[in-house]
Structure 1
C-alpha cells in the first residue's frame, strides 16, 4: 500500500479534551419516566458515556479507519473523499454507494467488500463490482461544499467522480436515506451513464392527484403523516434552524451522542435493544468521527438545502430501478407509489432489517443488489419481462436462499 497521509489524525490533546468533557458532563434532572419514550434513555446514555470516557479505544478505531482504501479527488476545487474496492473480476461493474444521515462511509464497508469480492462470501466472481463509496460533502472526511447556491449538486459531483475522474463510462448506483435521493437525481440527470439504480427509499411523486390514489397509497400516506408527527422533530429542526442546534452538539459530546444514538435505536430492527444490532464501539466510532471532525453541523446542510429549494426534486427516473424495503425502515411505500416516479424493475420485501440495512443485514442487501444488476450490467439492457417485473418477498436464512415470487400488487 502506498505511503499516504492518514485520513484522520487526532492529537493526544483532542482525545484528552473529549474524555474530560465526558467525565464532566452536566446531566439534566431525571424525569419520573424511564426508557426511550421521550427521547434518548438516560440510563443507556450514561452507560455509553462511561465506556466512551474510560474504556473505548479510539486509537484502535482510528488505525482501522486509516487502513481503509481511502482516496481523495479534487473536482475543480471541491475536495472529495472516497473508498475504492476493486472488483475481483476483470469485468466488474462499477457502482457508487451513497450513505445517509447520521451515518458515515463506515456503515457501507462490509457491503462494499461483499460486492467487490463475492467469492469470499459464497458468491461468484462474475458478480463482482468495483465499489466506490464517497463521503457526503460535510460528513467527516469530505469538507462541505461551497456557498449555498444550489448550483453544485452532490449527484453532479458523483458523476464527475465516477465518469470524469475515475473514467467509468457506465456505472451503477445504490443509496438509502439521503443517499437514495442523491442516487435518484444521479440517474435522472445522467441516464446515458447510469445502467441502473438500487434504492432503500423512493422520492415522492410531484403533486399526485388525490382522486387517483389507491387505497394502499392513501394508507401509506397516512402512515407517513403519523411518522412525521411522532418521529419527525429532528428533520424539522435540521431543515429550518440547523445552526441553532449545531453549537450544542459541537460543544457537548454527550449531546451529540444522544442526538444520533436515539435514531440508531428508533430506525433499526433492534426490537428496542440497541445491542442486538450495534456494538458499542460502532456507535461510539460514528459519534467520534462527527466529534473530532466537527461535522455534525455541516451534516445538516442537505436537510436545510432541500427545504430551501436549493436541491431540486426528483421528477422522473427512467433507468431500471430496484427497491429493497426493510421492515423496520422509516417507510415502506407500495410499489404503485414508486412506479409514479421510477421505472421499477424489482421490488423486494426483506424479512428483517431496518434503516441501516448495510450494517444490519449486509448479506441480504448484497444479494439483492447482485441479483438485480445481473440483468443490468450493460448500458441500455432492460429485463422488463417475466420474473424481473414481479415483486419479491425475501426468505430468511443468511440471504443466499432463493426468493419466493409473489404477484406485483401484493406483499
Structure 2
C-alpha cells in the first residue's frame, strides 16, 4: 500500500525534524556561544538532509532503521547544543520527534487535499501552504513549550518519566504509520484521505499526551515545592515563638538585676563585690543584643540572630523601623527575615577572618514602599543552581529554598526581591508596598 500513496518527501521530513529540534533548543540552556551554535545547527540540518536522502533509497524493510537513525540525529543535535543531561535530551528529543511527525503529516494532508497528487512540489501555492503550516505550527509549539522549559536550568527528567515519554512516542509513531506498512489490521486505513487523516490525528494525540504528561510533572513538582516552602514557614514561625520566649526571659532577667544590684551595693568587701559584678556581667552578656523596633516579631527575630552572631564572633548591625512592617503578617515576616538572616549568617560563618564576618540590616520607609536590605560580606564566590543560590549547609533540601521562599512570600504583598553583589558585598533587597495608612 505504501507504493500507492504519495508519501511525504524526505527533505520535508528532514526540515520538520530540524525545525522541531530548534523549537526545543530555543527554550533550553545553550552550551556554546552564538557562532558555534549557528554552526552546529547548520551542521545538524545538513546531516538530517543527507540522512533522509540516503534513507529514501533503501528498501522498505529498512524504513524503521532509517527513522531510528533520524531520531538519533535529533538527539545528537540537542545534546551538542544544550546544557542538559542525556536523560533530559532523550526526553526532549522524543517530544521534538512527535512534533516533527505532526507538522509534516498535517502539512502533507493539507497539500494532498488542496493540490493534485502529481502537482509540482515547488509550485507557489504548495510552498506558501508549507510556509504557513510550519510557521503557525512552530509558533504555537514554541509558545506552549516555553511554559514547560527554561533557558536557565535543565528539566531534570528521571528514568521513569523518560520511559513513559518514550513509550508514548513509539506507540504514536507506530500507529500513525501503520496504514503505510500494511492494511491488514483493524487500525489501518484503506483510502488515501483516511490514511492521512489517521496519521495526523494519531500524531496530534501523541503530542497532546506528551504535553499532558509534562503538565502533570510540573504540577507534582509545584506541589512538592509548595509543601517544602510551607515547612520552611512553619519552622520560621516556631523560631519566632522561641525568640519571643527568649525575650521574655531577658526581660525577667533585667527585672531581677535591680535586686541583685542592691546586694552588690550592700557588699563592703571589694573582692566579693568584684566577684558579684563579674557574675552579673556574665549573666547579662547573652541578653545585651536586644531590640525594640516597634514590631514584636521583628524584635524577637533580630534579638535571636544578634545573640547568635555575638556567640560566633559575627558583627551584626541593624537600623530598623519596625512600625513600617505592620502590613506584613507575623508568619510571613518571620519567613522573610528568618531566611534572609540565615543566608547572610551562613555566608559569613565560613570566613576565616573575624573582621570580615559582618552582617548589616536596614528596614525603613522609602516613599510608598518599605525597603528591607540585608548585606553581608562574602568571599567573592557565589554558588548557583539554575538561577537560585545554592546553600552551603548539609540540609540543602530545606535551606536551598530560602531565597525562593522569600520571593514566594514577598509576591503575596505585590513586592519585589533583588539580589546584587559588588566588591565582596552580597545585597538582598526587598521592596514591599507600604500600608495605605502609612503613606
**What is the TM-score normalised by the length of structure 2?**
0.21
**What is the TM-score normalised by the length of structure 1?**
0.23
Greater percentage in helix: 2
Q: Which entry has the higher C-alpha Rg, 1 or 2?
A: 2
The higher relative CO (CA closer than 8 Å, separation ≥ 6) is in: 1
